[in-house]
Chains A and B, each alone.
Chain A
């Protein structure tokens, strides 16, 4: 099932799957009884696929309120003997760090796999943090797939590994595996559920003496797991050349293509033979497969390590080299040979490999220590510069109307707008320019409190979506109430978790499986948490929305406005805007920046295919030339 074993002709049991879909189907085949997660790119499709394929409803699938809740729910199931999986993105693991650190000490009975998707680049994330580091910090074994096929195999095996060692196992795909697709063989039989029964035991209750004992046991286990990883199908030493390249995760797949292109060989074995290299593929990365690393470092006298994000494999190799006095020279991120940030794309991998493999010039300098290569990305081909196209709030997005209402209501006043994580982070773009801070999920509310304390003259607003409010905003609101903060919290309630593709959350009254459930009212929650001023407003009723923002601002103390209008992605438009005899004042374009508005021959035109008929531009137009009409 690894790259090496892909047969040339695809069999009918194969399906084209995204890496995330492959992980989901691997978990189902492995007999996962419970899957809990929180949406976040690039991890979201894992849980969605489990839910979509859970046609008999046998698996408990849930979008938890946040990642901490997801991991704790999964731990409870695993302690009761069931196989369970928790799914999140890398910054989500920060939220779940508290349960993770202790959970490894307590261990599990049923297999527990934590899927944490990392995002080199980063493409859709706040940081370029590396979950392999987190796994080592937490003492949890970690697997790092190179392709969707291997992601499927790893998902299957991770549950066995977890049960054999009684430890949660982290499966860490990266974006180029999560969102890549390949034909995956799905012929594995689905394993029946293990019977769930919670057995009372002191092992599930963390106390300092237990932690002391378990710490020792966990470290002893790591040597064993490392031995197992040295012969794992996910780790491999190929070729026997005197120069070595180690590659982790998807970088191994990219390295194969780079070396094939370099040698002009038709397949990987021929490319490997032509390269005179030793290639170390690392997929089971923590604890380190020391025996395999030892063979690699004794075979190759000079070694290049290619891995995205942190230099995890590089540090493991250097630690072994130091501990055992091995002589191989290791180049990578720590040596300055490889850039510390960004993705490793095929062109970069090819360039690093080329530099590494090129024979050094026969001069005195050849004996000097290797100079570091510049750490900048390779120069792109010179091409004309075309207009940038950054993501924007969609046409018809209610967030645009909410931001605009608050912007107009506070015009002329010194106001600070603290933002949060979601589609509405895009409120930072021109011309709205309504996001002054953004730190992490839920932080807008609490950052606003700090800003207001230090800068009492400023009018301070915090914007947070309904999904993020339930995930991470409630404690911040409670904090504001308890500590008498005079801030204005604008909850942008679009009745969905929009940015990640419309997942359920506690405010919607439906679970991920479509079952009806209690619908939590954000206004009632805000009142219960101590907010005295709580109002709802329709952001598309501009005067009323502005009025609500003004009253919130003038209300002494904590105030909450819930701007309520559904995400434009949730319904088909029945209306559209049309410009007639536009005067060309451009006020609509300058004020709201809707992607459906464009300028042709000095006047505004509405792109009917994009327009969602929200009517915001019509309300802004000073001469009534933009009109809302029924769609044909």
Chain B
């Protein structure tokens, strides 16, 4: 299974990748990841690739991802073509406008982005940023998104392995916040049932 995690530098895509990879290993599977580390971490586009199964290389080809986890709306739209036909997407509705948009050089067209993403039958939105903020830190939005993806049945790893990996890859001081974020994401997803959109 090929999972692409997309976001803006600073949002914590690498942590999501580490949690998924650790969970895959704990569950007894094979896994490789590829990360974006470097200048892009300063507010640029960042993507992490998580590949389970008998693959040799770490990066998912365009149109090859089974699942897209996007921590930001525009990044969800940008990376949607990397999804397989029939692939699933969980997209945070968080907006982070690039400086060029504020300067009027480019337009951040939220409606167009949403419509483009929603055209994929297996795409779902979640207000991960707002949910995390309500728990005390927007930084935990990545864990909210992960909890929602799990509750929607989009992750192949079992919950025990995922939560063990979450604990292994995050500082103990944030354990309570992260568990709360996971639960909030899962709950929002379950409450949404078949709705495509979780309302904040």
Residues of A within 8 A of B (CB): 3, 6, 8-10, 14, 16, 18, 41-42, 45, 123-124, 146-147, 176, 179-183, 250, 252-254, 256-257, 260, 266-268, 345-347, 350, 380-381, 383-384, 386-394, 423, 426, 429-431, 499, 589-590, 593-595, 597-599, 607, 609-610
Contact A389 B98 (CB under 8 A): yes
Q: Is B59 an interface residue (CB 8 A)?
A: yes
Contact A6 B30 (CB under 8 A): yes
A609 to B92, CA, bound (A): 15
Q: Is B61 an interface residue (CB 8 A)?
A: yes
Q: Is B43 an interface residue (CB 8 A)?
A: yes
Contact A14 B43 (CB under 8 A): no
Contact B133 A609 (CB under 8 A): yes
Tell whether A181 pairs with B30 under 8 Å between CB atoms, given A390-B44, A423-B42, A431-B103: no
Contact A346 B99 (CB under 8 A): no
Task: Given A176-B57, A426-B39, A429-B99, output 7 extra A-B contacts at Cβ < 8 Å.
Answer: A14-B25, A16-B21, A181-B34, A381-B62, A381-B63, A381-B81, A593-B99
Contact B40 A391 (CB under 8 A): yes
Interchain Cβ contacts under 8 Å between A and B, 14 examples? A9-B28, A10-B28, A123-B40, A180-B33, A182-B33, A183-B31, A250-B57, A254-B56, A346-B59, A347-B61, A380-B81, A590-B103, A609-B139, A610-B96
Pick from B30, B57, B107: contact of A387, CB below 8 A.
Answer: B107
A589 to B18, CA, bound (A): 36
Contact A10 B103 (CB under 8 A): no
Contact B30 A42 (CB under 8 A): no
Minimum CB–CB distance for B48 against chain A, Å: 10
Minimum CB–CB distance for A582 against chain B, Å: 13
Contact A593 B103 (CB under 8 A): yes
Cβ–Cβ < 8 Å partners of B102 in chain A: 589, 593, 597-599
- 1/0 per position for B79-120, CB-CB distance to A under 8 A? 011000000000000001111111101111000110010000
Tell whether A182 pairs with B42 under 8 Å between CB atoms, given A267-B54, A386-B74: no
Contact B103 A256 (CB under 8 A): no
A147 to B21, CA, bound (A): 16
Q: Is B78 an interface residue (CB 8 A)?
A: yes
Contact B74 A16 (CB under 8 A): no
Tell whether A386 pairs with B56 under 8 Å between CB atoms, given A179-B34, A426-B42, A609-B138: no
Contact B77 A346 (CB under 8 A): no
Contact A345 B59 (CB under 8 A): yes
Tell whether A430 pairs with B100 under 8 Å between CB atoms, given A10-B28, A391-B43: yes
Residue of A with least CB distance to B18:
A16
Contact B99 A595 (CB under 8 A): yes
Q: Is B41 an interface residue (CB 8 A)?
A: yes
Q: Is B164 an interface residue (CB 8 A)?
A: no
A589 to B100, CA, bound (A): 10
Q: Is B124 an interface residue (CB 8 A)?
A: no
A182 to B17, CA, bound (A): 12
Which residue, B25, B44, B57, B139, has most C-beta atoms of chain A within 10 A? B57
Pick from A257, A388, A429: contact of B57, CB below 8 A.
Answer: A257
A383 to B28, CA, bound (A): 38
Pick from A10, A266, A386, A389: contact of B25, CB below 8 A.
Answer: A10
Tell whether A180 pairs with B58 under 8 Å between CB atoms, given A124-B38, A386-B77, A499-B39: yes
Cβ–Cβ < 8 Å partners of B101 in chain A: 387, 598
Cβ–Cβ < 8 Å partners of A599 in chain B: 102
